[in-house]
Structure 1
Amino acid sequence: MDQLLPCVASLRLVDHHCHGVLGTDLDRDGFESNLTEAGSRSPLGTSLFDSSLGLAVRRWCAPLLDLPPLAPADEYLARRRSLGAAEVNRTLVSAAEISTFLVDRGTWPEGFAGPGTFTGSREHLVLRLERLAEDVVTEGATGFPARVREVLDSSPAVAAKSIAAYRVGLELDPARPSDADVVAAADRWLTSGSTRCADEVISRFLVWEALDRGLPVQFHVGYGDADLSLHKCDPLLLTDLLRATAPLGVPIMLLHNYPFHRNAGYLAQVFPHVFVDVGLATHAVAHQARRVLTEALEIVPFGKFLFSTDAFALAELYYLGAVFFRRALSDFLSAGLREHALAQADAERIAHLIGWENAQRAYRLE
């Protein structure tokens, strides 16, 4: 972590979107299945350690587990198992120096560690909207809108999240649906026999209801696993909805965005309520993070950009997300200082805005 600007090295980050860690030990297949967005390593390829992220684990995480940098993958995994999941999680998450976590528990598989995983840091809940709908639709289509509203009214969450990108794509009709339309959509859903919330009417109903209650809404955008169709996940598809919701003045957070991070930056510039990050792309591209962050920051106002890891299952992803974010941000600001494009005071302010102040303001965190 040498050569970082002091104002970046000292940042206690706010991770505005993450998912929690596994509290159980993993074999090699189990570790690799959580290392990238691939479901497992391919029998036609090689190990998922043969990637920028796999190299990053060996380079940056191995020394924290008392191994030499770039220790072989098998040695790393053996050391990980010998320490135990609890110790590995404590070591790596603590080393990330993240002060606050906004946790999406919409996917919480068996074996995930419970409360207290992020020792010494604050945790806030992000409410998964599709999971909410799936929980309450089982009581029937009649009264479905009212039950959704009751849950939203009583939720302690500081934000809501939509995975419309996975279920219906991001080209959502901007119109607020009527309750009659929502009930009809819920009835179609129940009749289909599916347990998945995958109806465009319900997706936008959920978004409007969350925004009506002043809850910032996070949208998964771009890069994700094979369950989504990437061409339907360009944030520009949200333009009409963003235009319609702007008068509410409630933040909409575009998560991840890669490879559409430039498109997302444009939206954050032209719409007053839109914020962006590059999320899991930061650790996915690993040592190339400076390039991606620089592209993402080309036109986005610095007061509209946030940090997140989108870490899921592996504590390594929290640590690497923070490491590569700090390195990329420091490189970006250092380049600006060398070119006399900004002053030292500007660099410090930008680091604070992106590292934690924007999240604190947008989510009204105390």
Structure 2
Amino acid sequence: MGADGVQHLAETIERMPLVDHHVHGMLPDPSEADLLAALTQAEHPASPTDVFDSGQGFALRRHCAPLLGLETFASPADYLAARRALGSDDVARRLLQASGIAAYLVDDGHRPDRLMPDERMAQLAAAPTHRVARLETIAETVLAQSASGDEFVERLGPALEAAATEAVAFKTVAAHRCGLELDPARPTNVDVRSAADAWFADHRAHAASAPTTPHAGHAASARPRLTDPTITRHLIWWALERGAVLQVHAGFGDADLVLERANPARMQALVAATAGTGGRIAFLHCYPYVREAGWLAHVFPHVFLDVGLAVEFLGANADAVVRDALDLAPFSRVIFSTDAWGVPERVLLGARLWRDAAARVLGGYVTGHGWPVAEAVRVAEGIAWRNAEGLYGRRFVTR
């Protein structure tokens, strides 16, 4: 087959639909500052140099610029000017539809107040959206509406069940809040009620200390924020015993993350303890712990992983994480995502860079290791969309 086989593989991957099994919503009309902020995980104000003079920035100038009517590697100034001239809806429509993503599973938990409705995103993308419910957000909303820790516990179960009626999966950001090295034991009712009382009292104390007319920082601190590991474990066990898919942030994230506490290997004991629940765990992003996540998928049949987020930031080096994801994990448990938030450039780059990296990595297996081209196509198609359909038990791709 040689070069012809590799070319056929690349062309087939290019035409494949993708199921983005973890993404966030889009900003309705991002300013230049919004765009730059959305293209970094840093919390300090981003400059054009920070964003464009990076692996991600070069990829953006190569792949996004032509879709806005510019030459490849157009200057940052020209790119920003073209974006302003076209308007945010036209930019979103061009980039989202060029991604070839056939369905989006949208995590509703990160700054939903700033994002357009999912229905609007679906219109611009010409692809359906499906909800992923964030466990911490549900618990925080219930606590804010409760008059005691006991009332929180009584209301939490019905709130979770209500979310389950419209969500295709749940997600936890335990990595950001308390770390992934969680006690594997299922918390008792006494444990949960004790933790709820302590959380409620702590929230009330913080709310009482907030100014009557708070500025933005105080307002944020007065909102409930779940960091308690016992309640977090309760939520995780609830989702998995219900037989749901639980998406777990692991590895690379923004500055409020302690990176070493986000290593998926730290969750090994809890992963092992929940193996018989009927639920499935999908580790998200994973970089730089992709091999650790792959090992967990190798030894635990209810574990899946993706390398979303990392791919779009690594640019020309995306091959490395795509290859690492295929080291140990069964290929049927590797999934595609972008983890894009806020701006369509991130969606386009997540899709474009994955397609290119997958074609190069799998093409190398064909030429260097004798893989049949049809088998390489089958593996790519699984990661692109079939594995997501199997994991979530839903048909996302029209065929």
Q: Which TM-score band (shorter chain)?
A: over 0.9
Q: Does 1:125 align with 2:131?
A: yes
Deviates more, 1:187-196 or 1:64-73: 187-196
Task: Quote the Cα distance in structure 2 between the aligned partners of 1:246 and 1:212.
Answer: 10
Matched, 1:141 2:149: yes
* Cα contact 2:311–2:318 (8 A) shared by 1: yes
Post-superposition offset of 1:25? 3.4
- Superposed displacement of residue 76, structure 1: 0.6
Structure 2 residue ranges without an equivalent (≥5): 1-5, 207-223
Q: Distance in 2 between matches of 1:100 and 1:135?
A: 28
Amino acid at match of 1:22: L
Q: Deviations over 1:176-198 (max 9, x none)?
A: 11122112111111211252001
Q: How do residues 41-190 of structure 1 correspond to structure 2 at under 5 angstroms?
A: 41=45, 46-114=49-117, 115-119=119-123, 120-138=126-144, 139=146, 140-155=148-163, 156-190=166-200
User: Normalization by structure 2: what TM-score?
Assistant: 0.88
Is residue 31 of structure 1 aligned with residue 31 of structure 2? Answer: no
CA distance in 2, matches of 1:233, 1:113: 29
- Partners of 2:46 and 2:93 lie apart in 1 by 31
For residues 241-262 of structure 1, what are the alpha-carbon distances to aligned partners after superposition, in whole Å with 9 as ceiling and x for unaligned?
0100001132100000000001
What displacement does 1:341 show?
3.4
Deviation at 1:40, TM superposition (A): 3.4
Contact persistence 1:24–1:111 (CA under 8 A): no
After TM superposition, give the deviation of residue 41 of structure 1 in Å: 4.3
Of 276, 283, 293, which aligns to 1:247?
Answer: 276
User: Alpha-carbon deviation of 1:292?
Assistant: 1.7
Task: Tell which structure's C-alpha radius of gyration is larger.
Answer: 2
C-alpha change, 1:188 and 1:126, in structure 2 (3 Å) is same
Which stretches of structure 1, 4 residues or longer, exceed 6 Å deviation after superposition? none
Matched, 1:353 2:382: yes
Conservation of the 8 A alpha-carbon contact between 1:25 and 1:81: no
Structure 2 counterpart of 1:145, one-letter code: V
Q: 1:363 and 2:392 equivalent?
A: yes
Aligned partner of residue 76 in structure 1, secondary structure: helix
- Structure 1 segment 294-309 matched on structure 2, within 5 A: 294-309=323-338
TM-score normalised to the size of structure 1? 0.95
SS in 1 for 2:51: coil
Matched position secondary structure for 1:48: helix
Q: Partners of 1:66 and 1:8 in 2: how far apart?
A: 25
Which structure shows the bigger proportion of residues in helix conformation?
Answer: 2
Task: Give me the whole-angstrom Cα distance separating, in 2, the residues matched to 1:324 and 1:246.
Answer: 33
> Deviation at 1:144?
2.5
Aligned match of 2:212: none
Q: Give me the whole-angstrom Cα distance separating, in 2, the residues matched to 1:46 and 1:352.
A: 37
2:19 pairs with one of 14, 17, 41: 14
Give percent identity, aligned residues only.
Answer: 42
Q: Residues 13-69 of structure 1, C-alpha deviation per residue, up to 9 Å, x if partnerless?
A: 000000011111312x322111011123468x9432111111111111010000111
Aligned to 1:40: 44
Deviations 1:118-158 (A, max 9, x none): 23212111000000000001213113233222122222101
Q: 1:150 to 1:97 in 2, by over 3 A?
A: same
> Are the counterparts in 1 of residues 30 and 343 from structure 2 also a CA contact under 8 Å?
no
Counterpart-to-counterpart distance in 1, 2:100 and 2:269: 38
2:140 maps to a residue whose letter is E
Q: Is the 8 A contact 1:236 1:264 kept in 2?
A: yes
SS at match of 2:133: strand
Match of 1:342 in 2: 371
**1:277–1:307 Cα contact (<8 Å) kept:** yes
Amino acid at match of 2:100: E
Aligned partners of 1:24 and 1:112 also within 8 Å = no
Deviation at 1:109, TM superposition (A): 4.1
Is the Cα contact below 8 Å between 2:36 and 2:46 reproduced in 1?
Answer: no
Moved more, 2-11 or 93-102: 2-11
**Count of residues in Structure 1 that have an aligned counterpart in Structure 2:** 363
Distance 2:49 2:20 in 1: 32
- Report SS of the residue matched to 1:127: strand
